[in-house]
């Protein structure tokens, strides 16, 4: 599986957009980009995933660069409840267990 | 639906004791996983199962055994606990090819301390 690189921590003001970057320069053509988050002491929660097109759901948007070597998770209006560790993971769809790195600790500040 | 449940939530063991962690899911998922998470670290895969009666090793399998006798249950066993196995253990399940493909659903975790 391709490895990812994320900043260890970020701050965001409440109500503003949180933009979390991820580098995955060795991603292969059949690998998806997945984002999960882990709120303190809880199990990780799926947020969104994509292959090469930008994706949006009720939680977030995922922007993948054209060369697929990096992506950005966007939380459009961050709230205090979005404070969590966010993991960017690349994996084949369906059959490959996920490999979690250390993620980015996002702190949303009032 | 309860989703993924884990039993027990907390446990303290002495070195050398054995125990079994139980994971149950009611979503009829084929795949199940056991991860451990040490302080300040991401999750690491211990073992996983792609169907009833099957198991496979993950990144850190040593000191653990697993069994998947029923589709809805995935058991993680520690035969002789060591302090290095103090961690939070998460179970997850997924149904590849359905909906969000590799989306994994996680349980609330079991906090294990080995003295």
**Mean pLDDT in chain B?**
93
| Rounded Cα–Cα distance for residues A22 and A25 (Å) | 10
pLDDT reported for residue B42: 87
- Separation in Å, CA of A42 to nearest CA in chain B: 6
Chain B: closest CA distance from residue A110 (Å): 24
Q: Which residue has the higher pLDDT, A95 or B92?
A: B92
Residue B21's pLDDT band (cuts 50, 70, 90) = very high
Beta-carbon separation of B45 and A97 below 8 A:
yes
Q: Looking at the partner chain, which of B35, B59, B100 has a beta carbon nearest the beta carbon of A49?
A: B100
DSSP for A26-94 reads T--TTEEEEEEEE-TTSPPEEEEEESSS-EE-SS-EEEE-TTSSEEEEEETT--GGG-EEEEEEEEETT
Q: What is the pLDDT of residues B40-59, one digit of tens each?
A: 888 999 999 999 999 999 99
- Put simply, the answer to whether A102 touches B107 (Cβ < 8 Å) is no
Higher pLDDT, B70 or A91: B70
User: Between A99 and B14, where is the model more confident?
Assistant: B14
Query: pLDDT class for B100, splitting at 50, 70, 90?
Result: very low
Torsion over CA of A2, B23, B37 and B47, rounded to 10 degrees?
-50
pLDDT per residue as tens digits for the range A3-38: 899 999 999 999 999 999 999 999 988 889 999 999
pLDDT at A95: 59
CB-based contact A102:B41 (threshold 8 Å): yes
pLDDT of residue B101: 64
Q: Which of B49, B74, B104, B110 to mutate to test the interface with A (most CBs of A within 10 A)?
A: B104
According to the 3-state scheme, what is the secondary structure of B51-70? CCCCCEECCCCCCCEEECCC
B chain contacts of residue A5, beta-carbon cutoff 8 Å: none
| From A34, A42, A94, residue closest to B108, measured CB to CB | A42
How many angstroms away from the CA of B101 is the closest CA of chain A? 5
Nearest to B42 among A42, A87, A97 (CB): A87
pLDDT 10s digits, A58-107:
999 999 999 999 999 999 999 999 999 999 999 886 557 888 888 999 99
């Amino acid at each position: 599986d391709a490895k990812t690189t994320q900043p260890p921590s970020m701050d965001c003001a409440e109500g503003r957009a949180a933009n979390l970057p991820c580098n995955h320069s060795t991603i292969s053509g059949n690998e998806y980009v997945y984002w999960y988050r882990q709120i303190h002491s809880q199990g990780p929660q799926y947020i969104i995933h994509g292959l090469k097109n930008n994706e949006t759901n009720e939680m977030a948007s995922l922007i993948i660069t054209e060369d697929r070597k990096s992506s950005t998770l966007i939380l459009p209006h961050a709230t205090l409840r979005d404070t969590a560790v966010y993991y960017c993971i690349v994996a084949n769809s369906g059959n490959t267990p996920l490999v979690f790195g250390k993620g980015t600790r996002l702190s949303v500040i009032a | 639906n309860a989703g993924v449940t884990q039993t027990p939530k907390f446990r303290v063991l002495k070195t050398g004791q054995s125990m079994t962690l139980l994971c149950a899911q009611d979503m009829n998922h084929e795949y199940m996983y056991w991860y451990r998470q040490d302080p300040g670290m991401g999750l690491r895969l211990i073992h996983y199962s792609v169907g009833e009666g099957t198991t496979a090793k993950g990144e850190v399998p040593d000191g653990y055994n697993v069994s998947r006798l029923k589709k809805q249950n995935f058991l993680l066993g520690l035969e002789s606990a060591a302090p290095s196995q103090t961690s939070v253990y998460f179970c997850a399940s997924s149904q590849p090819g359905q909906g969000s493909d590799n989306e994994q659903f996680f349980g609330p975790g079991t906090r294990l301390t080995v003295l």
